[in-house]
Amino acid sequence: MHMQSFESRVAKAVEAELVRTEYPADLPPLPPVPAGRYYDPEFYALEMEHLFRKNWVHAGHVSEIVEIGSFKLFEQLGLSIIVCRTSDNEIRAFRNVCRHRGAALVTQPSGKTKRFVCPYHAWGYDLSGDLRSVPEAQNFACLDKSKLSMMSVRCETWRGFIFINEDDEAQPLTDFMAPLDANVGPFPIDTMSVKVVIKMEIDCNWKSALDNFIEIYHVHTVHTRTIAPFIDPKSFSVFRLPNGHARMNSKKRNAATIFADGEQSGRLKVDPVFDSYTVAFPRFPNGFFSLDPAGCTWMNFWPIAPGKMMVEHYSIGPDMGSPTEDKAYWSAFEQMNRKILAEDIELFPGMRRAMESGELTEILLGSQEQAIYWYNEEIDRRIGIDKIPEKFRIQRVLGASAQ
């Protein structure tokens, strides 16, 4: 997407929102969403089977495994998967399972190794997953090491971000992320590295937490002193993208950033559109990221149970100066993000209780919350409408109306 065209589209949409006084003429009314989608174990099981096990999910960043033999564990969705950099400098993913008796090959969250050795019986695998050594191999009558490699998981990268997919028939990651790639444009996210990772478990459904970050209707109420002074919520505009993704924009107040002072944020030189507008993206199925000259946020919303989830918050950016300056800068960046997160998450358990008790049976969404309805329609498409009980279905009023 040509950046001039991108900027003009953003400006036009934002300015239209600022003067709008009626419901958008080009947006169908959004029917209520059944609250059962946010707590019912049957619908949760459908999501786990058809959504998370058959779609690309984020598993890390290349800056976390820079050296040959470095690895990290992906332990979400009931999985344990080793993501590592192999001897030929490729990034691959393997199930954290020894082919002997199923023991976990890796028990620490990250590290560096020359090979993976099972802590149970010391079967050894090289960085490419091939079985290389079996103690007392003469005791196994049917041992064929060539058939007992570590079990690989499909693994691909997009602009430095590592994704995995359990479905070998799924579309390539580049195709899945293409709508986002076109809208990120020349923003130098490819050159950045992970600075801080925040993880928090919350007593709510994963979608309740995700929903919060893909609308700003709540900003004037919840973030009065943190976000509201820096952006104009009335200017909020949504562009629906293919594959369940979306792009969101708002006008900044005086090109300000909530994350750092003007001198610091000015160190990252990008196209002026990112100085004047917030540019953020709901990423299907369970993510969100924003682009800002002060640094980027990348979030995952992981289901643990129907009423429990984990939010995983990455701070991504370039080196901002000397090691001392860099540490101070990203420490301040982290503290601001923690403050914003704290303002949000204290509300989520109450929302869970209202839904699970039956006091709230359906959720009504406004035009600023259309990204929520958009990804819920995509959930139904991915699961298959015939597999979803009628009481949980939503009407396809947006259909394939990507913009």
pLDDT tens-place values along the chain, 403 residues long: 455 567 788 888 888 889 999 999 999 999 999 999 999 999 999 999 999 999 999 999 999 999 999 999 999 999 999 999 999 999 999 999 999 999 999 999 999 999 999 999 999 999 999 999 999 999 999 999 999 999 999 999 999 999 999 999 999 999 999 999 999 988 899 999 999 999 999 999 999 999 999 999 999 899 988 888 888 889 999 999 999 999 999 998 876 666 655 455 556 777 878 888 889 999 999 999 999 888 899 999 999 999 999 999 999 998 877 888 888 889 988 999 999 999 999 999 999 999 999 999 999 999 999 999 999 999 999 999 999 999 999 999 998 766 5
Residue type, position 160, single letter: G
Q: What pLDDT shows up at residue 62?
A: 98
Return all residues near 379 (Cβ < 8 A) that are at least 6 apart.
47, 51, 244, 285
Residue type, position 244, single letter: G
Q: Three-state SS for 310?
A: strand
- Would you say the C-alpha torsion 62, 344, 402, 57 has a positive or negative sign? positive
Contacts 24+ apart (CB under 8 A), 15-22: 15/235, 16/237, 17/234, 17/235, 17/236, 17/237, 18/232, 18/234, 18/235, 18/251
Angle at 235 between CA 229 and CA 236, to 5 degrees: 95
Q: Find out whether 255 and 247 touch, Cβ atoms under 8 Å.
A: no
Q: What pLDDT shows up at residue 401?
A: 65
CA distances to 40, 42, 49, 219 from 363, rounded to whole Å, are 15, 19, 24, 19
CA distance 259 to 247: 20
Q: Per residue, what are the HEC states of 69-117?
A: CEEEEECCCCCCEEEEECCCCCEEEEECCCCCCCCCCCCCCEEECCCEE
Q: What pLDDT shows up at residue 222?
A: 92
Q: What pLDDT shows up at residue 287?
A: 98
Nearest to 120 by CA among 131, 132, 134: 134
Write down all domains in the chain, each with its CATH number in brackets: 3-55+188-392 (3.90.380.10), 57-157 (2.102.10.10)
Q: What pLDDT shows up at residue 262?
A: 47
Q: Which structure tokens are listed for 371?
A: 């990204």
